[in-house]
Structure 1
């Protein structure tokens, strides 16, 4: 069921980039299941989903990630730390895997998707150099990041998007080497600590007249 417009705006005004999480508050299983589903349901260009979401709840690993996050404590204190890893070089095999998935889910033949496959190969694989494909994948991951943050806000769960991380160290800590995926951004998810003074600060945004262009 759709949420009321006022509820959406209220949730978005409530959320902020949480600086201090309450390490004693954990996200309930059903709430986290819904948030994981929000990641899975995130849209991506052509539906290709060039990502993996690494959900870190093991405290030892979370503590290690602090050292790779410019000593920021959010990874250690949050309930779930989500690491967004993207494909380092999408290949023809990835396209074929996606085509097979479509065929299975929609109960059609792979042959009926030949035109779509050809378009994907021409656009993504043959039409982009490797560096451009990597940048494209990162842009897709940020759609998932935004989707997670908005979904969390609607459920009363706090988040902190984190670009202040060292991706290579994250890859090493999480064992991503050799998987074909590399860290691009992270998001701490949990509940704000009562001592986080940032929670009470007024949200600073430019007004509609400055950022909305109507034609």
Structure 2
């Protein structure tokens, strides 16, 4: 498979074919790809909410500036950050390291304490900004995997996160929605799917030193 050709094929899908669905295997790949995203310190403080139910998604259209992609796509992926990031997240991460790699705690302890100190002194606003940046990394990863799997997607910032959190009960789960990614298959009459991709030349965007 030519990766560059797949990235050229990818576009922000404006209209999905509501009659088509991605397979269970493809959805599993996207979940696994999300879980394998490279994140700061290795901490996984993001959650991916996956919604297939169209009735639930129909209730979200009005909170998405009436963008039909959220309901016409096969599935709606919602990237969420935790409302709280604290020592428990660090402890869980290092317990996972110990269990999987069998690394002695004596080796991990200095780094664990340093990370706890970093998070403890981080202002709440900076924590939210930091976590949100991680969500964008995950979004980019998911979009690339979608392209490789020939799954259409549409990254979306245009929605009301507070309304989403209320409708879906995300606040009760300690989560805050930050990004959307409807996934599925483009409609045949989506005029944007046939347009040439517009980008600057590589010489204009890449600097070789």
Give the TM bin, normalised by the shorter chain.
over 0.9
Q: How does 1:105-120 map to 2 (within 5 A)?
A: 105-120=100-115
Q: How does 1:53-68 map to 2 (within 5 A)?
A: 53-68=48-63
Provide the rounded CA distance (Å) in 2 between the counterparts of 1:211 and 1:108.
42
In the alignment, what sits opposite 2:26?
Answer: 31
Q: How does 1:134-213 map to 2 (within 5 A)?
A: 134-213=128-207
Provide the rounded CA distance (Å) in 1 between the counterparts of 2:97 and 2:117.
19
Provide the rounded CA distance (Å) in 2 between the counterparts of 1:201 and 1:193.
14
In the alignment, what sits opposite 1:214?
Answer: 208
In the alignment, what sits opposite 1:13?
Answer: 8
Contact 1:90-1:125 within 8 A present in 2 as well: no
Q: Tell me if 1:49 matches 2:44.
A: yes
Q: Structure 2: any 5+ residue segments left out of the alignment?
A: none
- The structural deviation recorded for 1:83 is 0.3
Aligned pair partner of 1:89 in 71, 84, 88? 84
- The structural deviation recorded for 1:75 is 0.8
Provide the rounded CA distance (Å) in 2 between the counterparts of 1:109 and 1:191.
47
Provide the rounded CA distance (Å) in 1 between the counterparts of 2:58 and 2:101.
42
Provide the rounded CA distance (Å) in 1 between the counterparts of 2:169 and 2:83.
15
Q: Structure 1: any 5+ residue segments left out of the alignment?
A: none
Q: Tell me if 1:70 matches 2:59.
A: no
Contact 1:86-1:138 within 8 A present in 2 as well: yes
The TM-score, its normalising length taken from structure 1, stands at 0.94
Q: Which runs of 4+ in 1 moved over 6 A?
A: none
- The structural deviation recorded for 1:63 is 0.7
- The structural deviation recorded for 1:109 is 4.0
The TM-score, its normalising length taken from structure 2, stands at 0.96
Provide the rounded CA distance (Å) in 2 between the counterparts of 1:34 and 1:101.
22
